Amino acid sequence: MQLADLQVIGDQLALKWQGGEEQFIALEQLRNACPCASCCGEVDVMGRMHKGPDATLNEASYQVNQLHMVGGYAVQIFWKDGHSAGLYSFDLLQQMRPSN
């Protein structure tokens, strides 16, 4: 599935998939699901979990500065608090549909 368009509308990320399906994800949900190593933790070769210090999130943490498409498979989000390490793969974004 390819992404045809994406933009921030209010406090939501609006995605348009090729084929015309639209999807909205709350920015707060997106930031809380940031897939980068410092937000999710990283397991080293010994199986130990490494996690960065819990960043203090503030209002700017849930606001988007820029969106970049990465290699046709992911979206990189530049948050206004300066965080941009997370790559949201299209798979991940599609999994963030409401389940009900």
88 binds Zn ion (CB under 5 A): no
In the complex, minimum distance from the CB of residue 67 to Zn ion, in angstroms, rounded to a whole number: 15
In the complex, minimum distance from the CB of residue 40 to Zn ion, in angstroms, rounded to a whole number: 7
Rule CB under 5 A: choose which of 13, 31, 62, 86 binds Zn ion. 86
Residue 50, beta-bridge partner list: 42
**Which tokens sit at 26?**
């709350």
Q: Cβ distance 97 to 23 under 8 Å?
A: yes
13 binds Zn ion (CB under 5 A): no
The arrangement of strands across the sheet holding 3-9 comes to: 3-9, 12-17, 22-26
Residue 47, beta-bridge partner list: none
Binding mask 38-57 for Zn ion (x = CB under 5 A): -x------------------
36 binds Zn ion (CB under 5 A): yes
Query: What's the burial of 95, exposed, middle or buried (CB within 10 Å: 0-12/13-18/19+)?
Result: exposed
In the complex, minimum distance from the CB of residue 18 to Zn ion, in angstroms, rounded to a whole number: 27
**Residues in the site for Zn ion, rule: CB under 5 A?**
34, 36, 39, 86
